Structure 1
């Protein structure tokens, strides 16, 4: 008979294992020595211990599922209880008991981690839903649309909750997206309608602008183009392609008209500039009549100047008042000379000449005072006007004094 600390083989070849509850038969051996029998059953023990060691490693070092770990542990426990092996089976059972506690701890930890992960997922999805519902009312179509698409990608990357919770949150999330899409479609449908209306209005405005492009009614047509531009701005924008094409036609029609007007005005301005030069030359000739020494010759000279003046035509608007004022001064001097000539043949002329001289002197003095004040005030336009008036009155006064001298003579 052969014996070891954990088992023995009797004379009949029966193999026993020693346990805390006593010996238990694990097999028989007839083919060799008792030592070989014990070695064989010890190897079976070592194999069982190796399986337990492997399960310990998987439980402690890998993410083996709790269910799979428990199944493997139950299987090994049954093997240990009924093991046909020789060795310290009680230590194997204790190791399995320890693993049982570890598996339970792992299971609890995973439950806690899963619950925490679910809470975090719920919070994340609640946040996504809240943002989506807020974006549903946005009118920032591009930015909100891009953000909603990004939220979908974030949602897809999150774990699922329990079916009921996940479905409820997804329904709210999806509904928010649908509301936004509906509002956006309605907005762009309205916008398309408004743009189509704007296109129709602008096509009419373009037609009117093109019809006016050949007009030579410069003032009325320029005003009409201003009105068309006001209507254009009030019409709103058409679709981009149509807007650009219509605007090009509208601007083109305007350009044709205003370029033609500019060319005409340039030609007219050049012509009127030449007319101004001619009238200025005539004024030099007219002003040379003064002071009047021969009334008949002066009147003949002024008639010649006036005839040529009228034949010249228009001058620039801003030059006309000054030119007319200079000619009027000469005309007024001749009229007053005529009046003085008549008065000299009148018995009462001397008295009237004296009175006229006095009135003219008063007028000259008054104008001189006003001129001095205008110069002191720096009023250039008033100075120019008063200088012209003063020159005219001074001429009249000189003429009156001369007439009075003639009466004295």
Structure 2
């Protein structure tokens, strides 16, 4: 408490009972505590943020505090501009007035991203503006670390997930990061579901307890005759029937390590799950999805070198169970950038073919077409070749 002789101007402007400790940056009101500061903001509808347009004398500007205020103001403007640029990029909003979002320019200008694409021979086919794939593309150049971060679409068991992958990451490293993120999401989702179930069970037990106490008559001594024991768990009353024994699943703890461990094979070799990676080739004439096999230790840049992608890469992952003696050395230990042949890859599911198979199909179709052309008279054949069929 302040002395009775202390003038009011030297006390808190709100409670007038203690010396002030804080000064409001906006209107210079002096307060002694957080409660008084909040009371001032409510009464005066004050935001507590310094007004950059307020008059400041020249003598106040030529101080360390004045320089700090100007620096913070300019830094805030720069952050707001960067934030607005990122939001417009993510939403595909045009700032030039020509209908093309700012992000479109990053692929085609002479900047670092365009230079990276040209040096590695990567052809990016742009999706129509406003489409989901175009909006989902967050591929960018990180100025601070001088590296490219790709948006990569992973397809595993029919599920599609888009994640950011550094250009220097290998297929296996990117896949592991994706699985870790998926595991964290599953654990969080399961935790939320478990909390909801526990809350519902507690609410049900509480309501049953109240209903039982209201309907069951009391004895002469005022004690309630209950056949079921009542226990307090976590501050919530739960009824336990002693005649019901716990089930075998409840009484026996689960050992996830034993359950998830695959049984050994008859020849003594252990069975492991091996991931095989394939890069999707867009814009093909085949009714099947054309895939390019990629070694697991190949970096993303090497995998995309001299390849075509639609906005951003799409990588298919097929897992196979293989023994330790029969793991495919071509896809597991091939040098980075190695071209994997068809006989070195695992069999693809129905609806998928490799690039070599696609090229063989096209070659067979071309030979068939040339065979049909031989039956056409030479004069008509020239017309067909010039404009009738191939024109």
Place the TM-score, normalised by the shorter chain, in its bin.
under 0.3
**TM-score normalised according to structure 2 size:** 0.21
Q: Which has the larger radius of gyration?
A: 1
Pick the structure with more strand per residue: 2
**TM-score normalised according to structure 1 size:** 0.20
User: Which gives a bigger RCO, structure 1 or 2 (Cα 8 Å, sep 6+)?
Assistant: 2
